[in-house]
Chains A and B, each alone.
Chain A
Amino acid sequence: MVGERGEIYAVPLLFKRVVATLLTLIGIVPFVALAESQRINLNMLYLEQIEQRPAVLSNILPEAEDSGLRGAELAVADNNTAGRFLNQNYQLETLIEKSPQRLLERARVWVAEGNGVIVANLPEKTLLALLSQPLIQTKGLVFNVGSESDELRRSQCRSRMLHTLPSRAMRADALIQYLVAKRWHQWLLIKGQQPGDALFADALQRAAQRFGGKIIGTKTWSFDTDLRRTAQKELPLFTQTKPYHVTLVADEAGDVGEYVLYNTWHPRPVAGTQGLIPVGWHRVVEQWGAAQLQNRFTELAGRWMNHKDYAAWIAVRAAGEAVTQTASTDAALLYRQMLSENFELAGFKGRKLSFRNWNGQLRQPMPVVHPRALVSQSPQEGFLHPVTDLDTLGIDPAETNCQFQTL
């Protein structure tokens, strides 16, 4: 039997894959072509701060603990596959840690040793502390893959920081555009009690104002009952208001939001942090070749790729593209290249991606999904912007008061 799959043929292929993955992971990649050019090595540092997650009622499906990291690892492998032909080699060092001080110290030493690129899965406060170090400001290049904070893109921008994770404003704009396009433009807003919930509620409010919709009422969830037993009784009363089109939920930790669906007073769809969600990446994205990225990720990580994995993946890929385009690993040069007008990046979202030169945010289409299917992708048709319709999502230059340097 020559080559029937599952028999003789499948074994060497699997073996080959394992070897290839191992080789790539430890950074020994076969040297093939372009031998005349100088070998380029880019070392990157992945920093992650472990945070205490708030206790939630709905704790059935927790977020993967290695969110972000596995995306960065996949992109390093991807970059190295290309690197074989370009005489480039990429490596990733990792520090996952509770203490912000130790993370900051590692970053300082890392850059002092002559490296530059940091993939930061850090909360806003630690990121700002990182970027306030003079050494990072002059010699570093930080990708924010962990914080959705709008202030980091509006009033607290930092030069040498690029955001590949979409902000809350981008997510809210993506969702609200879709709802307005559907002419479902009156909403009841339910928010949780965590700080992020209020921020996402603000982002929804801002989007409602931008795109012409109305939040007819806002309710803050403050009950402390266990909704798994009593949602059916509590929520109809809680959501009893005048009629509206969609129930918006701002509950980032998933405390109450999961129980809003099918329990509202009016029979209305639920959107926001639960139900129909706007997100940078999701398992259901499969168009534009995304199925291939999803397959590669699942094979590496043994689970589905989420929005943080994607943010880390595209950050490391962007660094790789900038290295290819500049033939350099100098952080200043890479940063300038990524913010230049001719930088473009393919990211399986159906459009070329690029960075905004007023706050360093990656412009990107935003999937709007429910747990089992892609519903839409924003920007929606008809929402226009002088430069590109992708800039209808997120903070515009006129809204920022940043001193953001692109050099």
Chain B
Amino acid sequence: MWLTNTVTDRYGQKHRLPAKRFIIALLGCSSWFLASALQAELAYVSNEKDNTLSVIDIDKLEVVETIDVGQRPRGITFDRNFEKLFICASDDDTIQILDVDTHSVVTNLPSGEDPEQFSLHPNNRHLYVSNEDDAVVTVVDTHSREVLAQIDVGIEPEGMAVSPDGKWAINTSETTNMLHWINTETFELEHNTLVDQRPRHVEFSQDGSVLWASSEIGGTVTVMDVASKAVVKTLRFKLPGVHRDRVQPVGVKLTDDGKYAFIALGPANHIAVVDATSYEILDYLLVGRRVWHMEFARDQELLLSSNGVSGDVSVIDVEKLKVIKSIKVGRYPWGIAVRP
């Protein structure tokens, strides 16, 4: 491990380090984190109504750059080597690839119409894309730039997650109110789970045994056991002073230590903190208006949330469960991706 230029990620996949990082790693020590510490950690935020990405320096917690991208950027995610950033440019009906070193859009991938969210398979190749206007999930090979499959799902496919073992791709359909279980070997639908109204987002636990799915209009989060596909728990939220209709769960994030689940509650302007083992709701953190998606930073010490209506990003100290800062970004921030 010491003298190779590969690292092993949490999926057990080996990746070659970029030459610069490899040299730094050799000079410094084996730690990947120390190597990247010389390069500032950056958070990329997609601004749906500005057609830009805001880049936040995690050390300074301020916007250091704004990058022009395609129309209506929503879902964004990195490849496993953090060399490429995939961007759903929904109104351009394409997925753009941003070169992370140069911050320029280098190419477009075929994506099907109106791509909204996606998830990269642990093989670092297959991208599962929700095509919101078309009621299909498109699987794109990011290397050969081919469409491998299109799978019919319910109306307005949105949330997308691939299980850590790579076996399942789960898609939520907002108007059909279902979780669709796609077998990633055959690209076929194997199972459908009815959940509450307007499911928006799905998230696997780190070991892949548990699946969390938020229902925006139903106001609930469904927790499922992946092996049995059975519902383990349906979470409901109650905030003092907020009408229950305004509690609309969207984004879900789970800490790797299995301690917390964070649920973004949309127009309730709060993030719920849930004990991920007992499912007890521990706290509600006040953030910006209409909070949608979240991402961890600084090795899960920080949690960032995109607040669409107020156009900012809230920064949460995960250990203290306190909101420590809000950072103004573009109009209608949607997704967040962090490069350590």
Name B140's closest neighbour in chain A (CB-CB).
A3
Name B309's closest neighbour in chain A (CB-CB).
A287
The answer to whether the Cβ of A81 comes within 8 Å of any Cβ in the partner chain is: yes
Using A33-B189, A352-B245 as known contacts, say yes or no to A289 and B176 having CB atoms under 8 A apart.
no
Name A365's closest neighbour in chain B (CB-CB).
B245
A residues in contact with B191, CB < 8 Å? 33
Using A2-B110, A3-B145, A345-B197 as known contacts, say yes or no to A84 and B175 having CB atoms under 8 A apart.
no
B168-184 contact mask (Cβ, 8 Å, vs A): 1 or 0: 00000111111010000
Using A81-B154, A344-B218 as known contacts, say yes or no to A5 and B94 having CB atoms under 8 A apart.
yes
B residues in contact with A85, CB < 8 Å? 154, 176, 178, 180, 189, 192
Question: What separation, in Å, do the CA atoms of A344 and B198 have in the docked complex?
Answer: 11
Q: Which stretch from B130-138, B233-241, B311-319 is at the chain A interface?
A: B130-138
Contact A346 B109 (CB under 8 A): no
B137-152 contact mask (Cβ, 8 Å, vs A): 1 or 0: 0000000111100101
Instruction: Tell me the interface secondary structure of chain B in the complex.
Output: loop
The answer to whether the Cβ of A34 comes within 8 Å of any Cβ in the partner chain is: yes
The answer to whether the Cβ of B194 comes within 8 Å of any Cβ in the partner chain is: yes
Minimum CB–CB distance for B226 against chain A, Å: 18
Contact B197 A352 (CB under 8 A): yes
The answer to whether the Cβ of A32 comes within 8 Å of any Cβ in the partner chain is: yes
The answer to whether the Cβ of B203 comes within 8 Å of any Cβ in the partner chain is: no
Contact B155 A81 (CB under 8 A): yes
Using A3-B110, A324-B194, A345-B197 as known contacts, say yes or no to A292 and B217 having CB atoms under 8 A apart.
no
Give the interface size class of chain B: 35 or more
A-B contacts counted at CB < 8 A amount to: 94
Question: What separation, in Å, do the CA atoms of A17 and B155 have in the docked complex?
Answer: 13
A148-179 contact mask (Cβ, 8 Å, vs B): 1 or 0: 00000000000000000000000000000000
Contact A2 B178 (CB under 8 A): no
Q: Of A3, A4, A30, A388, which contacts B245 at CB under 8 A?
A: A388
Give 18 new A-B contacts, CB below 8 A, not counting A3-B146, A85-B189, A351-B245. Answer: A2-B144, A5-B94, A33-B190, A33-B192, A78-B155, A78-B175, A82-B154, A85-B180, A292-B132, A295-B114, A295-B133, A296-B133, A324-B177, A346-B175, A346-B177, A346-B216, A351-B217, A388-B243
Residues of A within 8 A of B (CB): 2-5, 9, 13, 16-17, 20, 30, 32-34, 78, 81-82, 84-86, 289, 292, 295-296, 299, 324, 344-346, 350-352, 388-390
Interchain residue pairs A-B with the least CB separation, the first 6:
A3-B110, A82-B176, A346-B217, A346-B197, A346-B198, A85-B192
Interface pairs (11), CB distance under 8 Å: A2-B144, A5-B108, A16-B150, A32-B189, A33-B192, A34-B192, A78-B175, A292-B133, A346-B175, A388-B245, A389-B243
